[in-house]
Amino acid sequence: MTQKGMQKSYMCKDIRESCGLFGIFGVSDVAPLIYQGLFALQHRGQEGAGIVVSNGKKIRSAKGLGLVNDVFSKKSFDSLKGHIGIGHVRYSTTGTTRIQNVQPLVAECADGIWAIAHNGNIVNAKSLRRMYQESGSIFQTSSDSEVLVHILADPMYRRRPRRVERALEEMRGAFSFLLMTRDSMMAARDPFGFRPLSIGKYEDSYVIASETCAMAQIGATFIREIDPGELVTVNSSGLHSSTFSEKKDHFAQCIFEHIYFAHPDSNLFGRNVHSVRYQYGRQLAMEYPVDADIIIAIPDSGNSAALGFSQCSEIPLDFGFIRNHYVGRTFIMPEAQERRHWVDMKLAVLPEVVKGKRVVAIDDSIVRGNTSANRIKYLRKAGAKEVHVRISCPPIKYPCYYGIDFPTKKELIATQKTTEEIRDMLGADSLGFISLEGLLTPFENQKDFCTACFTGNYPVEIKSAQGKRTLERYST
């Protein structure tokens, strides 16, 4: 429709999550429910979506590039009849229109068809891929998720007990997996629990979702999170749990889910997202108090923290930015106009609110810094007397290898500049990033979180990340 060449994404930050998963077993017509679930997970991936269902005999799928609303139609539902199904929303890292990579992947091996949906990043995918290619396997996607299918199909696994567990054991890195065969659904979380995945109940059926907001959307009830290292299998005889990894002495749940990705009404890693962000606001108010007239949020990810900051500091909250609800994924900015000046299609400043005021602006994170700088400029133009910036996230300094797509290190402003330099570049009167300690305050088991992007301490080694099996085969 619109000219791809001119499309600009004004919706997302410069940070991107891999994916969202949703599955259900046991309702007469699952596709519409999966559709609704994926819709509620849309914020986890906007560039492609797929649904695969089974009626116990045949497996059918529909997938496409774009938003959930664009990919599926009434006709999709007509053909997707079944009582088991899994779905996926994703973004394509390359930005090109590679329909092949849209998940769930569907592949046939000796004992039937497998559908696989994945959230995360498998750090030893490359070596596993090479190994399987050496032994004659062919790969049809460029996705790291495909290796799992190959391990499952491998006779060394296929013919032995605990096949799926043993296959998952080979994986290193971050992964929440949703699998489906003709007659069962499986879900697993890596031993460190990087990515979220929960179980719920809808009528008599089981639901698996990346975030609880998707369960709420269809009226399902949250039961519990899948444990790190746990494989959950749902089939006609009910729900079964097994483990595929010894219990780690600590987990590495992604703190960035709470900071930015997850939906405020989701509960993740034991806590509600909105509440955590609210607490971040309070924490910021204590760490970086400031004498000011009003607190404003950068909507929407700054909303909860702004409320917390306001209620802790007793400085009144106001709405200094209004969000335009028609900003979709794309907006055509004619070149001529683009050259004129930076235009914020997403947020409008309210001069009535900020004029003559000392303003505290609360944002969830600073990545490159340009957008923030421009917004501060707008606040000043609208008459703000002072602009104090508080960020509910420590400075992001290191790349993530576990499923978050930050810009390159060179583009991350916090790897290049000190806080004072960033403040200066933003044109703010003061700037405060929440401390790492503050960030973990809301949680009891603080060691169960991954903070590698702030500290560089990576819980799973990147280079030598190899599975047991790899060595076995080559030592033979």
Q: Do you know the residue count of the chain?
A: 476
Amino acid in position 303: N
What is the spatial distance between Cα 180 and Cα 54, in angstroms, rounded to a whole number? 8
Nearest-CA neighbor of 147 among 159, 365, 134, 160?
134
Closest approach of its own copies to the CB of residue 431, in Å: 25
Closest approach of its own copies to the CB of residue 99, in Å: 6
Nearer to its own copies, 264 or 427 (CB): 264
Q: What is the CA radius of gyration of the chain?
A: 23
Closest approach of its own copies to the CB of residue 394, in Å: 24
Cα–Cα distances in angstroms (integers) from residue 342 to residues 11, 158, 318, 388, 457, in the given order: 15, 57, 25, 22, 37
The encoded tokens of residue 425 equal 């570049």
Q: Are 228 and 152 in contact (CB under 8 A)?
A: no
Closest approach of its own copies to the CB of residue 112, in Å: 10
Nearer to its own copies, 174 or 361 (CB): 361
DSSP, collapsed to helix, strand or coil, labels residue 398 as coil
Q: What is the number of alpha carbons within 13 Å of residue 164 lying toward its C-beta?
A: 22
What is the spatial distance between Cα 295 and Cα 360, in angstroms, rounded to a whole number? 5
Closest approach of its own copies to the CB of residue 344, in Å: 9
Nearer to its own copies, 331 or 449 (CB): 331
Nearer to its own copies, 51 or 414 (CB): 51
Nearer to its own copies, 278 or 402 (CB): 278
**What's the first-to-final CA gap in the chain, in angstroms?**
56
Nearest-CA neighbor of 27 among 86, 81, 85, 83?
83
What is the spatial distance between Cα 124 and Cα 131, in angstroms, rounded to a whole number? 11
Nearer to its own copies, 29 or 411 (CB): 29
The one catalytic residue among 19, 254, 312, 450? 19
Q: Are 86 and 99 in contact (CB under 8 A)?
A: no
Q: Are 51 and 61 in contact (CB under 8 A)?
A: yes
Closest approach of its own copies to the CB of residue 94, in Å: 12
User: In the annotation, is 453 catalytic?
Assistant: no
Q: Which residues are catalytic?
A: 19
